[in-house]
Amino acid sequence: MMTTESDLARSQSRTIPYHQLQVMVFNLSPDVQMQLYLQLRNVLYHQTDFASNQLAAIRERRFGHGFLCPYCQDKAIRHGTYLGNRQRYLCKGCRRTFGDFTSSPLHRTHYPEKWPVFLEHFFLGYSLRKSAGILHVWHD
């Protein structure tokens, strides 16, 4: 059986269960675990002070050189808000809308401000249920 490019892409984009991912991380050396944690924290928040305005920092990092569409790279304009303070944008080229977190690890998250603490819980070995209880986040 020949492996096609689409089969390879599908296998690389599959979701790894939480527990399996945690086992993989804990098999790394402590130094590599710390490097991974710091890299993830920097990628997600690009700052060490999590109490400051993460949304503004992420917005500045993504759109500091102008609002570009993540789908076609054309210019975009502001197009309302959602969930209170999250900005929506409308692409002038493809007419698609997108938000601050589109095409980012935080896309479709409801509580981006809770991710830094969750990330710490993950590296401490907490289960999803324990983390959810501490963060007061439940799936209904």
**pLDDT surpasses 60 at 46:** no
**pLDDT surpasses 70 at 51:** no
pLDDT tens-digit readout, 17-31? 888 888 888 899 988
Strands, DSSP E only, in 2-85? 76-82
Which tokens belong to 58?
Answer: 């992420």
**pLDDT surpasses 60 at 10:** no
Per-residue pLDDT, averaged over 41-45, amounts to 70
- Say which DSSP state 68 is in: B
**How far is Cα 131 from Cα 102, in angstroms, rounded to an integer?**
25
More confident residue, 25 or 11: 25
The contacts found for 45-49 with CB under 8 angstroms, 24 or more apart, are: 45/115, 45/116
More confident residue, 72 or 110: 72
Residue-averaged pLDDT of the chain: 77
**pLDDT surpasses 50 at 9:** no
**pLDDT surpasses 70 at 35:** yes
| Minimum mean pLDDT range among 2-6, 20-24, 120-124, 134-138 | 2-6
